[in-house]
């Protein structure tokens, strides 16, 4: 069986505040994210988790979000 190797790379370009937040999360063990609605909290967390998975710190994740976000996160 030929399995495709996962790269754990972001599929969308991060905005400057998202990059800053992702970097902050990756440098700290415990973080609260209080960004306002629509600023990309889900993307920030996913990017941080991808970095942790790429580094072997996390084996897998489950992201739970409202159904209304399905369009935002569908692969195009």
Q: Is residue 74 part of a domain?
A: yes
Based on the structure, what is the number of domains in the chain?
Answer: 1
pLDDT digits (tens, 9 = 90+) for 18-36: 999 999 999 999 999 999 9
Burial of 53 (0-12, 13-18, 19+ CB in 10 A): middle
**pLDDT (0 to 100) of residue 69:** 76
Q: Is residue 15 part of a domain?
A: no
Q: Is residue 35 part of a domain?
A: no
Q: Is residue 6 part of a domain?
A: no
Q: Is residue 19 part of a domain?
A: no
Q: Is residue 21 part of a domain?
A: no
**pLDDT (0 to 100) of residue 17:** 96
* Number of residues assigned to the chain: 76
**pLDDT (0 to 100) of residue 6:** 76
Domain hosting 69: range is: 40-76
**pLDDT (0 to 100) of residue 8:** 80
Q: Is residue 1 part of a domain?
A: no
Q: Is residue 53 part of a domain?
A: yes
**pLDDT (0 to 100) of residue 31:** 95
Check: CB of residue 48 under 8 Å from CB of residue 26.
yes
pLDDT digits (tens, 9 = 90+) for 57-70: 988 888 887 888 77
């Amino acid at each position: 069986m030929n399995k495709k190797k996962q790269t754990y790379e972001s599929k969308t370009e991060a905005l400057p505040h998202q990059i800053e937040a992702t970097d902050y999360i990756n440098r700290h063990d415990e973080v609260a994210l209080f960004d306002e609605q629509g600023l990309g909290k889900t993307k920030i967390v996913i990017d941080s988790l991808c970095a942790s998975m790429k580094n072997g710190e996390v084996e897998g994740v489950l992201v739970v979000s409202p159904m209304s976000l399905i369009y935002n996160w569908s692969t195009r």
